[in-house]
A = this chain, B = another copy of it.
Amino acid sequence: MHILVTNDDGVTAPGLLALATEMRKLGKVTVLAPDRNWSASGHVKTLERPLRVKETFLADGSPAFTSDGAPSDCVALCLLGYLGEKIDFVVSGINPYANLGHDVTYSGTVTAAMEATIDNIPALAFSLDSKEGQVGPLDYAPAASVARRITERVLAEGLPKGVLLNVNIPYLPADEIKGVKITRQGLRVYRDRLDRRLDPRGKPYFWIGGDSPTGVDEPDTDFGVMLAGYVSITPLQLDLTAYQSMDGLRKWAW
């Protein structure tokens, strides 16, 4: 079992090391992760420039690779043969912040897993629901342990074809996590505001600012079960067709 571990926060992120450490209990692990943060960078296939890959080390001294591509590029590099050996399974994370609702289309953590799914390699995305403004380093140990147990389950049962799992883990001590729930993708509520500033030369620039996103609290969704203290596992697939609209649209006078 050869497991590729990647993320969207970059190869130095502590969540990556925590995940890689737990995955080593399940098989051979290769780490190939971006050389910088790609949060909210979407599903990328870098075609207009070539990619570099460098050898590096994680904070525990273990070898890793890093690339100037996006998370999905890191997965593509490996699935297209960069390593010279087959990848059986892809895990992405652990992202420090939750990826809920519409976040999944933006999230580098989730789109790395999508890249594997498109190539029929089973993939899991792991995110931790820490809050912004947390003081001190995050404790990834409980979430990494949850990630390992979920991965073990998936390795034993096998994922349905074309499905990836988007896993969100409450930021709680292990004994306060209430369990695991299979959820549907909920509704995010973004609270972005445009923050217009002037540079030292008096010219405007614009931050996408505002408050952190919240969501609609429904009991069967990723957002709802996280609020209630459960691990949320949302099976995702890549067919975005709005089937329920097709008949109606066919009646229009095109």
Chain A residues close to B by CB (< 8 Å): 37, 39-48, 50-53, 70, 72-73, 76-77, 80-82, 102, 104-106, 111, 114, 118, 150, 153, 157, 160, 162-163, 179-180, 182, 184-185, 188, 190, 192-194, 197, 204-208, 233-246, 248-250, 252-254
Contact = CB atoms under 8 A, between A and B. Distances in A.
A47 to B, nearest CB: 6
Contacts of A240: 104-105, 185, 236-238, 240
A236 B252 CA distance: 17
Chain multiplicity (copies): 2
A114 B242 CA distance: 13
Given A41-B44, A180-B254, A50 B197 contact: yes
Contacts of A104: 240
A131 B40 CA distance: 31
Given A45-B208, A163-B245, A237-B240, 5 more contacts: A37-B48, A42-B72, A53-B204, A157-B252, A182-B249
